[in-house]
Chain A
Amino acid sequence: MNLHEYQARTLLRAAGIPMLDGDVAASPEEVEAIARRLGGPVVVKAQVHAGGRGKAGGVKLAEDPAAARRHAAAILGMTIKGLVVQKVLVVPAAEIAGESYVGLLMDRESQRPVFMVSAAGGVDIEEVAATTPEKIERLAVDPRYGLFPHQALGLALALYRDFARARAAATILGQLYQAFTANGASLAEINPLVTTPTGELLALDAKIVVDDNELDPRPDLAALRDESAEAPSEVAARRAGLTFIKLDGDVGCVVNGAGLAMATMDLVKYYGGEPANFLDIGGSSNPEKVVNALRIITADPGVKAILFNIFGGITRTDDVANGIVAAMAEFQVSVPVVIRLTGTNEDQAFRILQNVGMTALSDMDAAVKQAVALAKGGKAA
């Protein structure tokens, strides 16, 4: 789960990382008041889960509170990469003598948290990694022991020649590591970490991605979720215990298992169609899940046909069939539905569907071809 910059700032600040005072607001009036309280020039920053905010016009420097208000009026409500800006962060404009990049992420290959730091800060670190990887210093931390002081200092010395500054940076690296582990992060990043003209270090921008698997045991982290920043259909799906990702096509897909769900989307594309979504109903057999899945998919006006692809293992196909029957009775499904069921209890499942005049296929390719044809307005093969 991505946190907003203002949320990440709060968590990093709580860990002791130095930053300028600032506040978040949802209206131009509030922004003006914050700018007045902070005094001097401020930066107004859009809070959306999208990169490239600056390029999109979502980050503006304001010389005085009135200008801050004007910028906020322009930025609030703006759409950046399909996301509407609901909140802005207001922070004092910092004087910058130098910029570094400091990031910590869970690395799949080393299976450890890995620091990545670079004296080339304030830029897209992925681009630095791709074009000039030698400018990035890396350190894998053994999470059983944590970050040792000498490791932090060694990394910091790669960023700063001045020892006092390096020591200050080492402290910040330790605090970043604490914030990372304390908040179940899979990524924690300060970009840029700036040096002021007087030689102090300040975190200007913060980013944290929380491991989704931490949200259940950690309600304090789950509470940071901003549902207004997500597609409503995805919010509804998550509440129903489903994994749903909206796409642009017209074949709605209901599948059990993530791998098979992806393979189903791919097969829709292979046979000339476009998948409308990724939807994994998971491993359990609760018929209610099927009802919720159909409700979410039928709410998308772009869907012209619905394809069920269920391979029963733990999931019992008769339960899924019951869910389909219940859903069809509960609300009007105006688009054709193609059902593919195979595996555990498939005989009962076919009988359940036959009893209400529905049919099912047992072959995945045949079902996908039929759904693609129906979405295009053709007849079932």
Chain B
Amino acid sequence: MSIFVNQDTLLVVQGITGRDGSFHTRQMIAYGTRVVAGVTPGKGGQSFDGTVPIFHTVAEAIRKTGANTSVIYVPPALAAGAIAEAADAGIRLIVCITEGIPVLDLARVIPFVREKGARLLGPNCPGLITPGVAKVGIIPGPICAPGRVGLVSRSGTLTYEVVNHLTRNGIGQSTCVGIGGDPLIGTGFIDVLRGFQDDPTTDAIVMLGEIGGTDEQHAAEFVRQCVRKPVVGFIAGRTAPKGRRMGHAGAIISGSSGTAEEKIHALEAAGIAVMKRPVDVVELVRQQGVASRR
């Protein structure tokens, strides 16, 4: 089972005819995701690979196909507009892969999405996957396996590294969710942790954080108060210098706040088992007694 995406996910791809959009659409279809529509303004009426109908707008795509989830692969200058369009048209889950969206654009569009009652995942995220069922975004399917560990992460390839260790050691995942590395994101750790806590098919949770901001500290507090399932954590950036943006716009230590030490301390104080290395995930998850239960 899963959170956020499942067999009822009907996906519309915004920017389906672009280089990234077309490549990942094929990957998602091959994985089994129900891609029902694409949107590229100006190419309405055409079809993608002869199988997926393309529309000018998301609203049209919903009317004709019943799409309930969207994934966005449009350039940064157009991405905030694409997010707003999806929310306005009635999409429930909007997954934005695009990196490099100006933060002021996000500050304007995020409250709009909330008022429409939609959920935004990202931007600048790898998306999410419910192994064996559906993937929305760019997480490679072959490294995942169905199972009962929920994973939430701020990064892309670090997620792959950790998921790969789990899968190779026979520990499957319920859903893997990449929330993105930007300072302003639509869905935070807490939203996903709440989802896993409420999901009867998730037995344990892995959360991968990094330096910058206070999301992990708040998430730790949420775990202490509200999560009754074992949580294993990791914080990247112990060796990061202060005041430098470590690739992700959000990964920056300002002053004395947002350091790895501070976050690791917060996680441990909340009873979260903290990995020192990515490979430690296997041992720590096994200690929670979930490995044998597929």
Interface residues of A (CB under 8 A from B): 106, 108-109, 111-113, 126, 130, 142-144, 181, 184, 186, 211-214, 216-217, 243, 245, 247, 255-263, 265-270, 275, 278, 280, 283, 311-315, 342-344, 364-365
Which of chain B's residues have a CB closer than 8 A to the CB of A256?
157
Which of chain A's residues have a CB closer than 8 A to the CB of B107?
106, 111-113, 143
Beyond contacts A126-B255, A262-B239: 5 other A-B pairs, Cβ-Cβ < 8 A, are: A111-B184, A259-B181, A261-B247, A262-B237, A278-B244
A6 to B240, CA, bound (A): 30
Report 19 cross-chain contacts, Cβ distance below 8 Å, ordered by A residue.
Answer: A111-B111, A143-B104, A144-B111, A213-B100, A213-B101, A216-B76, A247-B241, A258-B181, A260-B157, A262-B239, A267-B277, A278-B240, A278-B247, A280-B247, A312-B140, A313-B140, A313-B156, A314-B24, A342-B164
Nearest chain A residue, comparing its CB with the CB of B155 = A259
Given contacts A108-B214, A113-B107, A270-B277, are A344 and B140 in contact (CB under 8 A)? yes
CB of A108 within 8 A of CB of B236, answer no
- Report how many residues on chain B are interfacial, defined by Cβ distance under 8 Å: 63
CB of A211 within 8 A of CB of B102, answer yes
Interface centre among B156, B210, B260, B278 (most CB of A within 10 A): B156
Nearest chain A residue, comparing its CB with the CB of B251 = A258
A186 to B249, CA, bound (A): 11
Query: Could you give, for residues 224-240 of chain B, a 1 whenever the CB lies within 8 Å of some chain A CB and a 0 otherwise?
Result: 00000000001011111
B121 at the interface (CB under 8 A from A): no
**Which residues from 75 to 134 on chain B have a C-beta closer than 8 Å to any C-beta of chain A?**
76-77, 99-104, 106-108, 110-112, 126
B269 at the interface (CB under 8 A from A): no
CB of B181 within 8 A of CB of A108, answer no
Give the interface SS of chain A, mostly helix, strand, loop or mixed.
Answer: mixed
CB of A144 within 8 A of CB of B249, answer no
Query: Could you give, for residues 207-219 of chain B, a 1 whenever the CB lies within 8 Å of some chain A CB and a 0 otherwise?
Result: 0101101110000
Query: Could you give, for residues 165-201 of chain B, a 1 whenever the CB lies within 8 Å of some chain A CB and a 0 otherwise?
Result: 0000000000000000101100000000000000000
CB of A365 within 8 A of CB of B277, answer yes
Closest beta carbon of chain A to B117's beta carbon, Å: 17
CB of B236 within 8 A of CB of A262, answer yes
B248 at the interface (CB under 8 A from A): yes
